[in-house]
Amino acid sequence: MARLLNTSHLALHSGIRLFTDRTTKIRIKEMDKTLLQHGFDMNLVEQTATPFYYYDMDILSETLQEIQRQTRGYPFTVHYALKANGNPHILKVIANHGLGADLVSGGEVKAAIEAGFDPKEMTFSGVGKTDWEIKLGLENNMGCFNVESIPELEIINQLAAEMGMKANIAFRVNPDIDAHTHKYITTGTADNKFGIGIEVLEQTVMHALALPNIHLRGLHFHIGSQITMMQPYAMLCDTINDLLDFYDERGIHFEMINVGGGLGIDYTEPDQHPIPDFDQYFGTFKRQLRLRPGQRLHFELGRAIVGGCGSLISRITFVKESRNKRFIILDAGMTDLIRPALYQAHHEVQNLTAEPGSPTKTYDVVGPVCESSDVFAQDRALPVSHRGDIVAIRSAGAYGESMASQYNMRQLPSCVFANDKYYKKSRI
Ligand SMILES: Cc1ncc(COP(=O)(O)O)c(C=O)c1O
């Protein structure tokens, strides 16, 4: 799929029409190596000051279309988790595909409204919503507050009463399921701060049903991030099935269930798998979850939607050899992409300007920031590299630009959006 998407950049320059056949695509690629490397439009890359995010908008569109294909005909609503990437241009594309929005701050609420998401299809998560953020959600008739504690429930009820309205809510349930992912991105176990424990859920539900300015719509779950095995989701389905049986017996019906996000992407083979296996993912819920008549299933995907379409492009400032190590020092750093420093996350690193087939050497790929953790990759075999070479750090569309900072008083990275009618714009 990636190759097809990539040929669109080529078509812009060469006037060649797009082919879907794989061999033809490879032939086109070989014809014009100066224009295309690992799917990157090299003219565009070389004209742009580094570091910057390169978004392949064709991959994003294909991803969104695949989600639409997989959910058509099912009572499913997919929300996009803005925290993964809040770039306004990307938000508009996602909103135009009809997705809802999953938000965690007042800033995200404003960005989602600006981008054209439907407030009725917005969910507002987070353990520490402040009063102004709750009021903003209420003013906009937000589809659902995912409530994480009884104090939060009571404040939402009070603020809704002051505004003369009813707040739509779901309880975020902590199902105590270990998604076997990195400890900083697991969220559904009893030891972390998120959600309401199953043991106190019944009393919390009864409490909410008695509050005059609360409309309890359903239950919400989110078990973690970068989940690539379906077993934790299957376990989540079992837990939800049991809970629905329990509440059915008590005559309590939920209009929706929200299973959160967390679907992972393939960080090791971005060219082969630019789009996650949505068939397996949605299939797990289609098979395992016993939704009740009229009940809708909500999803809140972030990484799976935008992760594969973005890469961080950087130039090599220096190649440095020390006694034990050989370093590639980039002009991008942890301020542009913090995931490797924060979670020891793996990203493929590709030298886009090295001669294809050139010999390799082992490098540590690092940034210029004054922190020892400013490392993108350790002991990586890469083509022999030189000052001025251009490097792509792949699969950086999610939690890349949105987590960028100006530590060391560095500039925020700019970004380009590439498809057959590309244009360029700076970060807003
Ligand atoms: C409540 C909630 N929903 C959705 C997401 C999106 O997760 P992902 O990007 O892994 O799909 C997160 C991520 O932290 C979250 O906390």
> Does 300 sit in the ligand 1 pocket, CB within 6 Å?
yes
* Cα three-residue angle 86-331-328, rounded to 5 degrees: 125
Q: What is the pLDDT of residue 28?
A: 33
**pLDDT for the residue numbered 194:** 75
Q: Is 402 helix (H, G, I), strand (E, B) or coil?
A: helix
Q: Could you tell me the fold of the domain covering 57-305?
A: TIM Barrel (3.20.20)
Whether residue 125 has its Cβ less than 6 Å from ligand 1: yes
Residue 294's φ and ψ, nearest 5 degrees, are 80, -10
**What pLDDT is attached to residue 180?**
60
The token pair that represents 328 in the structure block: 């590639």
pLDDT at residue 6 in the model = 33
For 204-217, b/e burial (b = at least 16 CB within 10 A) is: bbebbeebebbebb
187 CA from centroid of ligand 1 (Å): 9
Q: What's the pLDDT at 235?
A: 96
Domain with CATH 3.20.20.10 in the chain: 57-305
pLDDT at 191: 54
Separation CA 133–CA 114 (nearest Å): 16
Query: Which of these, 308, 302, 395, lies nearest to 82 by C-alpha position?
Result: 302
Task: Quote the CA–CA distance of 181 and 265 in Å, as a whole number.
Answer: 13
For residue 276, cis peptide bond before it (omega within 30 degrees of 0): no
Is any atom of ligand 1 closer than 6 Å to the C-beta of 90? no
Question: How many Å lie between the centroid of ligand 1 and the Cα of residue 86?
Answer: 13
> Is any ligand 1 atom within 6 A of the Cβ of residue 262?
yes
C-alpha 243 to ligand 1 mean position (Å): 22
Residue of 79, 225, 226, 265 with the most ligand 1 atoms within 8 Å of its CB, for mutation: 225
Q: Could you tell me the CA-to-CA distances from 73 to 2, 67, 69, 70 in Å, in that order? A: 27, 12, 9, 9
Scanning the structure block, which residue is given the tokens 């009740």?
292
In angstroms, rounded to a whole number, what is the distance separating the alpha carbons of residues 220 and 167? 16
The rounded distance, in Å, linking the Cα atoms of 184 and 114 is 31
Task: Dump the DSSP string for 215-268.
Answer: EEEEEE---BSSB--SHHHHHHHHHHHHHHHHHHHTT---SEEE----B---SS
At a CB cut-off of 8 Å and minimum separation 6, what does 47 contact? none
Could you tell me where in the chain the CATH 2.40.37.10 domains are found?
2-56+308-426
**pLDDT tens track, the chain, 428 positions:** 332 333 333 333 332 222 222 333 333 333 344 467 888 988 889 989 999 999 999 999 999 999 999 999 999 999 999 999 999 999 999 999 999 999 999 999 999 999 999 999 999 999 999 999 999 999 999 999 999 999 999 999 999 999 999 999 999 999 888 666 555 545 555 556 678 999 999 999 999 999 999 999 999 999 999 999 999 999 999 999 999 999 999 999 999 999 999 999 999 999 999 999 999 999 999 999 999 999 999 999 999 999 999 999 999 999 999 999 999 999 999 999 999 999 999 999 999 999 888 999 999 999 999 999 999 999 999 999 999 999 999 999 999 999 999 999 999 999 999 875 544 444 43
From residue 246, how far is each of 177, 254, 287 by CA, in Å?
19, 12, 20
Nearest CA to ligand 1 atom 16: 222
Is the Cβ–Cβ distance between 162 and 134 less than 8 Å? no
Q: Confirm or reject: Cβ of 400 under 6 Å from ligand 1.
A: no
Class of domain 2-56+308-426: mainly beta
Q: How far is the CA of 298 from the centre of ligand 1 (A)?
A: 13
Whole-prediction pTM: 0.89
Q: Taking a C-beta distance cutoff of 8 angstroms, is the pair 238, 285 a contact?
A: no
CA–CA dist 98, 401 (Å, integer): 23
Residue 304 sits at the vertex; the CA angle it makes with 302 and 305, to the nearest 5 degrees, is 70
Ligand 1 centroid from CA 381, angstroms: 33
* Pairwise CA distance, residues 222 & 143, whole Å: 18
Other beta carbons within 10 angstroms of residue 50's beta carbon come to 20
Q: What ranges in 72-200 are assigned the alpha helix state H?
A: 88-96, 106-115, 131-139, 150-162
How far, in Å, CA of 200 to CA of 39, rounded?
A: 51
